[in-house]
Chain A
Amino acid sequence: MKMAWKEMMKYKMRYIILGSIIFLISLLTLSISGLANGLSQDNAALIKNMPEGTFYMEESAEESYNFSSLSDSQINEVKNIDDNATFFSIQMGEFNDSEEQKHSLAYVSASDDQHFPAVEQGEIILDQSFAEEGLAEGDTIGNELTDEDLTVAGFVEQEKFSHSPVGFISSDDYSSMYDTDTFQLAFSTESDAAVDELSAFSNDEFLNTIPSYSAEQLSLNMIIAFLYVISGMLFAIFFYMINVQKLGTFGILKAVGVKTITLFKMMWAQMFIITVISLLLASGISELFNIFAPSGMPFHLTLDMILYSSAAFIAIGFVGATLSGIQIKKVEPMQAINQGGA
């Protein structure tokens, strides 16, 4: 470690350049990870906030929840496997506020309040973002699907679906608005048993049935994966070039008896120091951005994500540096002795 640090201090500029590039790549990776997670929350916070369980949807709906409509017999079958199952529906819609301004939202109605807020007939509980737009508790809102106004009964944090804020309404209001007396989906935390004519989905599988969710996440995750690969290659190329310049020194050190593993440890220590400093800076800046980003921006970076990303960067840096270190293993003391040196 001491030798690694000494060398870095001696040749500061080359290590600062590498560190700067790693810092920029890690900052970009964390930013895109934050954006991917933010978009994921924006697209599906309603589902992501639910506990792990099984979602049931009509088989004939072909994985499009809005085409699903559970029959009474299907509802009974789900109740047979889990008496506490929740039934719910989601419909994209809109409402007009007291100033006749239109707002789009996803109406959600459920059979009980196990996983969603309890709401009385004639009331609506809205996502917090509407409060930021000026709506307040007690305000009334209307829409073209019903003559009855709904009173805002409260707000909930981060409840979004398909990039729209959610409004929770009672099943009676939902029935009158959409002229239906059933639900689209069932959710059970206790059973994942197969039910005739219903498709079962885990939470992650259900997220992928949301239009655009998987396409959006795959694109961003692809970029993140490429950034990891680039950082690994960068370490490999950088240490390859540095090691080529140091082969003479390595050869002499091997000649006097220094173990090859000691030379590898020196390189790993340098990789570790550069990566940790770069990650600390990148994490700090990302976290500041997380705090100060405009509220409308879908950016959500968690400590877990920072820790996983950092672990991935360190692991990839280790692999990249080790691959480039094959030269260290190959170098013969004789090569170095026959060359000039300090």
Chain B
Amino acid sequence: MALFQLDNIQKTFKHGTTSEQILQSIDLELTKGALTALTGASGSGKSTLLTIAAGLQETTEGTIRFEDKTLTAISAEQVREVRAKHFGFVFQQAHLVPFLTVKEQLELMLDTAELKWSKEKRRSRIKETLESVGMWSHRDSQPENLSGGEKQRVAIARSIIHEPKMLFADEPTASLDSKRSAEVMSLIQGLSKELDITVLMVTHDEDVLQYADRTVEMKDGKII
């Protein structure tokens, strides 16, 4: 059953009088709980497709459906609410808030998702999530005291703390060495299965594809 559906997605960027079509009639369905990898050469449009799917930029044409909502037909504020409550994000860089500790990064996400959880549930969920990414012992650390791999694990914890239904990952291992990269991918794959999270991930790393349930290749703005 498709949790997330893209129909006829097109994206055109205008530069003065000329325009460039980055995405051409993309159709894609994501099955609940599956990890889908978007791959392709640089400039193929995979990152643009990911950010459009995640509601971070608008389409020129097409429809995005998530559960019973048509994201392309609702207001920007409603899309933000969907992002906050149901989507998780992992980017190429960890992008942690530099003045918050590891634990506070997760608390911020819980506040953003406006979940009506008890204090006890928040505490246990934070502990459980940080333990799942192996960062509980670093809960009071500031981002500046963490390594690249540790930061990315915190970013993953932040992306799943609010129990999202979708996880969007844009080259999550690009800034990591192969060992850390494997660790992070095992983590994403494991959490996806354990928590039944649907993952759409952009990567150009061949080694990462082994963790995907499905690989979608893109070329010149089209799925091939």
Contacts and interface: CB of A to CB of B under 8 A. Distances in A.
A258 B51 contact: no
Contact of A255 (B56, B94, B96, B108): B56
A61 to B, nearest CB: 67
A339 B91 CA distance: 10
A252 B80 CA distance: 12
Contact of A259 (B51, B80, B143, B170): B80
Contacts of A257: 80-81, 83-85, 87, 112-113
Given A256-B112, A342-B94, A337 B80 contact: no
B109 interface: yes
A342 B113 contact: no
B51 A342 contact: no
Interface string A136-155: 00000000000000000000
A44 interface: no
Contacts of A262: 112
Given A3-B100, A257-B112, A248 B95 contact: yes
Interface residues of B, number: 34
Contacts of B113: 257
A263 B220 CA distance: 38
A58 B92 CA distance: 84
Nearest to B144: A342
B104 interface: yes
A255 B83 contact: yes
Contacts of A47: none
B94 A341 contact: yes
Interface in B7-32: none
Nearest to A252: B95
A314 to B, nearest CB: 24
B105 to A, nearest CB: 10
A253 to B, nearest CB: 7
A134 interface: no
B158 to A, nearest CB: 8
B180 to A, nearest CB: 17
Interface in B40-84: 51, 54, 56-57, 80-81, 83-84
Nearest to A259: B80
A253 B80 CA distance: 11
B51 A337 contact: yes
Interface stretch (A4-12, A78-86, A113-121, A295-303): A4-12
A166 B158 CA distance: 74
A341 B84 contact: no
Most buried by A among B57, B87, B100, B170: B100
Contacts of A11: 99
Contact of A337 (B85, B104, B142, B170): B170
Given A6-B104, A257-B84, A258-B84, A336 B112 contact: no
Contacts of B100: 3, 6
13 contacts: A10-B99, A253-B97, A253-B108, A253-B112, A254-B80, A256-B83, A256-B84, A258-B84, A259-B80, A337-B91, A337-B92, A337-B170, A342-B151
Interface of B: 51, 54, 56-57, 80-81, 83-85, 87-89, 91-100, 104, 108-109, 112-113, 142-144, 151, 158-159, 170
Given A337-B92, A337-B95, 13 more contacts: A6-B100, A7-B99, A9-B99, A248-B95, A256-B109, A257-B81, A257-B83, A257-B112, A257-B113, A336-B95, A339-B93, A342-B143, A342-B144
Interface of A: 3, 6-7, 9-11, 248-249, 252-259, 262, 332-334, 336-337, 339-342
